[in-house]
Structure 1
Amino acid sequence: MTRFLACLLIVASFAAPVRAERVLVFAAASLAGPLDEVTELWEAETGHEVVISYAGSSALARQIEAGAPADIFLSANPGWMDDLAGKGLIETSSRRNIWTNRLALVSFRPGAGIGIDADMDLEGMLDGRRLAVALTDAVPAGLYAKAALTQLGLWLSVKDQLAEADNVRAALALVATGAVPYGIVYRTDAHAEPRAHLRGLFPKDSHPPIVYPGAATLDAQSEAHAFLGFLMTEAAQAVFDEAGFQRADPE
């Protein structure tokens, strides 16, 4: 009888379902869309749940610093990831560069391509109206925009005509609704919003490289590492390829 009960316990232990875990991802706003699609693939494959909080990378990093229970941080630039690493809030061994992007000029009205260089008359194009950008002192898309405009010698002529938004998708919405005639966002944002028209790409050397690193936080759930690894798979990367992202060197 004792041996029989022991066998039943062994069988029961193998039959017990694996408890589904909930992974909380803090992700840069520009990842909305393809990240949602990839999340659905992973949830269907594993049975685990992923909850995504989208915002500007700066706001998300500050929330993690304040103790928010994120398992994964996906940033739109290395700077905010470096900040968390310096404070000992991410598992540095889990950190990977996952995607890259391009900085783009978009408009509410369609039109011909615009050569973006030092000779572009951006002030004249605005004609007294405002240029939508993400926060230029904190949000990655805004930091890249300021760097590019400064390098091209255009910053001083337009800095007082900016409509700054909390994140890049909010800046995109200002253009898409016609609240402003032009905006500086990522190429992938223009891909995601048919009401905003891509007019040109900023030269790559006009701003720091746009790289999206991802990492697990120090107190991450066990399945967070599995989800982070899934983002590097061919199935996941193909979704981001379709959305206009480019694959980064993971190191």
Structure 2
Amino acid sequence: MKYFYKAKKRLVLALAIWIGLVPNVYSQDIVTVFAASSLTNALTDIADSYQATHDTKIRLSFASSSALARQVEYGAPADIYFPANQKWLDYVIEKQAVDAKSRVTLLTNSLVLIAPNGSAFAANPSVESEPSSSLLDLLAGGRLALGDPAHVPVGQYAKQALNHYQQWDELEPQLARANNVRGALVLVERGESPLGIVYQTDAEVSTKVAQIATFPAESHSPIEYPMVMVSEKPSKSAMQFYQYLQGEEARVVFKQYGFGVNQ
């Protein structure tokens, strides 16, 4: 009986301590951002800096813009949606899943052709400032890595660019389709694809690939990153971080990673 009493006392004490700690554990506000994979490095740095000076936890979820749009459409608990093209933002607005009034176009990017470091392309590029040469010949039986044009923005931009050079039809059977831009980057980094098409910002964060050529802006639609609040009545913390992403401190980081920043 004495042992039972002591054990019960310890349990009550532990429960009291746990209950006392719960408010501290859950008092920190959480802001969830659904963002395109190409924003991974820049947004991670921005979130880290923000959390260092604010009592707010920034939860980042990276994937293809289309996959995230579907999640937002079906009510996933996001505060901010930050895709890599206007199309998917239009989609969630049409579905009335976000606050259309909060829409802002924040960033721009470029499209580049990449090859693994140490490859013949990297050592002696046979493609000049823009990829007007036949990529099918350059692939020599290999596959061209890019985001799946069916649902990944970088793949859709790539398809437009290849159509501009009248190479899409011959290259389509030779594609290695990735679920997002980082997947395409990895295929080239590992040497599984001799060439790939990614955003310039993704190529620049990798130490394993070389940029062989840049697709001119006129070869594809403008690469733009719009941003929107999901709720029409966001939390104070969500609104503050949304505004921070548009401020000077965040702009500096975006520029460091090679993004164009709209003023």
Q: Deviations over 1:65-99 (max 9, x none)?
A: 12211110000001000111111111122211111
Residue matched to 2:63: 55
Q: Distance in 2 between matches of 1:171 and 1:228?
A: 29
2:42 corresponds to which residue?
Answer: 34
Supply the distance in 1 between the matched residues of 2:188 and 2:178 (Cα, whole angstroms).
Answer: 11
Post-superposition offset of 1:56: 0.3
Determine the structure 2 residue equivalent to 1:135: 148
Kindly indicate which of the two structures has a greater share of residues assigned to helix. Answer: 2
Deviations 1:3-40 (A, max 9, x none): xxxxxxxxxxxxxx994210111000000111100001
Which ranges of structure 1 fall in alignment gaps of 5 or more residues? 1-16
Query: Separation in 2 of the partners of 1:73 and 1:47?
Result: 21
Question: Where does residue 138 of structure 2 map in the other structure?
Answer: 125
Query: 1:88 aligned to 2:101?
Result: no
Cα offset, 1:120, TM superposition? 0.9
Q: How does 1:1-251 map to 2 (within 5 A)?
A: 19-108=27-116, 109=119, 110-113=122-125, 114-115=127-128, 119-218=132-231, 220-249=234-263
Q: Distance in 2 between matches of 1:79 and 1:218?
A: 19
**How many residues are paired up?**
233
Q: Under a length normalisation based on structure 2, what TM-score does the superposition of the two structures give?
A: 0.85
Q: Distance in 1 between matches of 2:100 and 2:224?
A: 17
Q: Deviation at 1:157? A: 1.5
For 2:66 and 2:236, the matched residues in 1 are separated by: 25
Q: Secondary structure at the match of 1:32?
A: helix
Please, which moves more after superposition, 45-54 or 111-120?
A: 111-120
Within 2, Cα distance between the matches of 1:153 and 1:116?
A: 18
Equivalent pair of 1:111/1:199 in contact (CA under 8 Å): no
Contact 1:95 1:214 in 2 (8 A): yes
Contact 1:27 1:75 in 2 (8 A): yes
Deviation string 1:167-203 (CA, Å, 9 cap, x unpaired) is: 0000000000111100000000110111011111101
Q: Which moved more, 1:89-98 or 1:72-81?
A: 89-98
Structure 2: segments with no counterpart, 5+ residues: 1-23
* Distance in 2, Cα, partners of 1:154 & 1:117: 14
One-letter amino acid of the structure 1 residue matched with residue 142 of structure 2: R
Q: Does the Cα contact within 8 Å between 1:132 and 1:184 map onto a contact in 2?
A: yes
Could you tell me which amino acid in structure 2 is paired with residue 62 of structure 1?
A: R
Per the alignment, do residues 116 and 137 of structure 1 end up closer, same or farther by CA in structure 2, a change over 3 Å counting?
farther
Taking only the aligned residue pairs, the percentage that are identical comes to 38
Instruction: Please report how far the alpha carbon of residue 112 of structure 1 lies from its aligned counterpart in structure 2 after TM superposition.
Output: 4.3
Contact in 2 for aligned 1:112/1:199 (Cα 8 Å): no
Aligned residues: CA RMSD: 1.7
Paired residues of 1:211 and 1:248 also in contact (CA < 8 A):
no
Distance 1:163 1:221 in 2: 41
SS in 1 for 2:97: coil
CA separation in 2, counterparts of 1:47 and 1:90? 25
CA 1:117/1:192 → structure 2, altered by over 3 Å: closer, same or farther?
closer
